[in-house]
Amino acid sequence: MKGKIAEVFDSVQGEGLYLGEKQIFVRFYGCNLGCRFCDTKLQSFMEYEPEELFQELKLYRDKYHSISFTGGEPLLQKDFLKELLKLTHKDNFKNYLETNGVLYEELKDIIEHLDFVAMDLKLPSSTGLGGFWEEHRLFLKIAAQREVFLKTVVCKDTTEDDLREGLRLIRETAQQAILILQPDSNEDRAHMRNKIENFKALCRRERVTVCAIDQIHKAIGVK
Ligand code: SF4
C-alpha cells in the first residue's frame, strides 16, 4: 500500500495551540476541498510504503513535540495513514493530525492512534464553499476522545451568523475545546483587528473559549 506524500521536513508549528513547538511534518498530497484562501498548492508527490516512510522519520534526530500529519487532507489516504500512525506510536512518537474536519468515518478508524487533533472549522462565508455543519458535528464528537482544538480562518467576508453556528456546534459537541481565530494574512490588518475583537467578544458571550493567533510561519520565514 503506497501513500502519496508531497514533502517531509522538520520545522516549528506555525499556527494553533502548539505554535512554536518543534515537529516533523508529513504533508499528504491531495485535498477534498477547495477553500478560497488555500495557500497549499501541491504540485507533486513521492510514493512511500508505510514502513519506508517510518524509517525516514526515524532519521530525524532532534527532540520533537510530535509528528504533524498535515496536507492537503491526510484522511483521504486513511489506510496508509493508519499503518504509519501505528508504527510511529509504537516507537513513542506523538501523533498530531491537522485536518479539515469533514471525513468523520475515516477519523473513527484511526482515532485510537492519535494524540492531538487540530481541526479546521470551515465557515462557508470564509471558504466560498457550502457548509459542513453535520460533517463537523460528527467529526468533533469523535475527535473529542483526544486532545482537540479548532481553528477557523477569518476573512473580510466571514459572517457573524456563520461564526454563531460554529459556536453552537462546539458548545453542543465538545464544550471544552478551544477555538482559535486566524485572521487571513492577505486582508487589511486594521480591518481584521476590529473584526477579530468583535468575534472574540461574540465567542465569549456564547461561552466558547477563544483566542486569536496569526499564522506565523510566513512572518518568520519558516515552512
Ligand atoms: S482544506 Fe486546507 S488544504 Fe484543503 S483546500 Fe482548504 S485550506 Fe487548502
pLDDT digits (tens, 9 = 90+) for 66-98: 999 999 999 999 999 999 999 999 999 999 999
CB 98, CB 180: distance < 8 Å: no
101 lines ligand 1 (CB under 6 A): no
* Report field, pTM of the whole predicted structure over 0.75: yes
Rounded Cα distance, 107 and 42, in Å = 23
Q: What is the pLDDT of residue 218?
A: 63
In DSSP terms, 117 is beta-bridged to 97, 148
Among 177, 179, 147, 185, smallest CA distance to 162 is for: 179
11: pLDDT strictly greater than 90: yes
Cα of 127 from ligand 1 centre, angstroms: 9
CB 37, CB 126: distance < 8 Å: yes
Report if residue 9 sits inside a domain.
Answer: yes
Residue nearest to atom 8 of ligand 1 (CA): 38
Domain range for 68 is 3-212
CATH of the domain at 84: 3.20.20.70
Question: Measuring CA to CA, how many Å separate 72 from each of 7, 99, 109, 182?
Answer: 11, 8, 19, 18
**From the alpha carbon of 100, which atom of ligand 1 is closest?**
1
Q: What is the pLDDT of residue 214?
A: 83
Where does the pLDDT of residue 22 fall: very low under 50, low under 70, confident under 90, or very high at 90 and above? very high
Rounded Cα distance, 19 and 28, in Å = 20
In DSSP terms, 106 is beta-bridged to none
CB contact set of 52 (below 8 Å; sequence gap of 6+): none
32: pLDDT strictly greater than 80: yes
**From the alpha carbon of 34, which atom of ligand 1 is closest?**
5
Please tell me whether residue 116 adopts helix, strand or coil conformation.
Answer: strand
Report if residue 220 sits inside a domain.
Answer: no
Residue showing cell 506565523: 216
41 lines ligand 1 (CB under 6 A): no
Give me the number of domains the chain comprises. 1
Where does the pLDDT of residue 153 fall: very low under 50, low under 70, confident under 90, or very high at 90 and above? very high
Residue showing cell 500500500: 1
Q: What is the pLDDT of residue 221?
A: 61
- Annotate 52-111 with DSSP letters as a single string: HHHHHHTT--S--SEEEEESS-GGGGHHHHHHHHHHHHHTTPPEEEEE-S--HHHHHHHG
Rounded Cα distance, 141 and 172, in Å = 9
> What value does the mean pLDDT take over residues 104-121?
98
CB contact set of 223 (below 8 Å; sequence gap of 6+): 9, 11, 14, 25, 217
100 lines ligand 1 (CB under 6 A): yes
217: pLDDT strictly greater than 80: no
Residue showing cell 466558547: 208
Please tell me whether residue 184 adopts helix, strand or coil conformation.
Answer: coil
Report if residue 17 sits inside a domain.
Answer: yes
Rounded Cα distance, 135 and 40, in Å = 22
Report if residue 184 sits inside a domain.
Answer: yes
Rounded Cα distance, 155 and 183, in Å = 6
Which of 28, 31, 39 for mutating ligand 1's site (highest number of atoms within 8 Å of CB)? 31
Where does the pLDDT of residue 188 fall: very low under 50, low under 70, confident under 90, or very high at 90 and above? confident
Where does the pLDDT of residue 212 fall: very low under 50, low under 70, confident under 90, or very high at 90 and above? very high
